[in-house]
Amino acid sequence: MEERPPTDDELGATAPARWLEDAERVDLALYAAIARTPTPALDRAMSRLSRAADYSRISIVSAGLLAAAGGRSGRRAAGMGLASVGVAAAFFNLVVKPLSNRSRPDRIAEKVPIARHVRMPSSTSFPSGHSATAFAFATGVGRVMPPAAVPLHAVAALIAYSRVHTGVHYPGDVVAGAVSGTVVAQLTTHALDRRTRRRD
């Protein structure tokens, strides 16, 4: 019996699935390429940066410096940044990650050099919390102090890359974390701005 060609509805239904499969293949290929590219000069720096970013320590220290040296606007920027981090961390760790079923990468199978290794978190891989909170902080601060946004986003990008370099995340995890962390920060700062204007 001759098979009938798929209908337009069937093609439309499978298109998103095919797109996700293609994106997954690219994601895995990028991870493998990064894992197997020798970069001894970067390995120690990236592992140290990744560990330093645990529990948003880099954002907290940066907020302290802004508050101490930036005057009133610095204190407000620090507050916006930390509020954005808090909302992003709560949202992703308590809501998004428990719903995600993406397993962490297998560093041994992918031959990630031991020199790069940091502690492998027990949580699911998608999205990257480090990436989300780093970009949330940069976005929150940038809302008040735009000149600070460029260096802070550069630091956030390095933190995001360090999570792939050390083998604990796929590239797609950190991209999703960066985008969603930015969106959460924009919503958070917008809500705080509206609340402040109402008080004034």
Q: What is the pLDDT of residue 77?
A: 97
The answer to whether residue 3 sits within a structural domain is no
Domain count within the chain: 1
Give me the amino acid identity at 173: D
The answer to whether residue 1 sits within a structural domain is no
- Tens of pLDDT along 136-157? 999 999 999 999 999 999 999 9
Q: What is the pLDDT of residue 196?
A: 72
Can you give the residue range of the structural domain that contains 17?
A: 8-199
Average pLDDT over residues 75-96: 96
The answer to whether residue 186 sits within a structural domain is yes
Burial class of residue 174 in the structure, from the number of CB atoms within 10 Å of its CB (0-12 exposed, 13-18 middle, 19+ buried): buried
146: tokens are 């735009």
CATH number, domain with residue 91: 1.20.144
- Tens of pLDDT along 39-54? 999 999 999 999 999 9
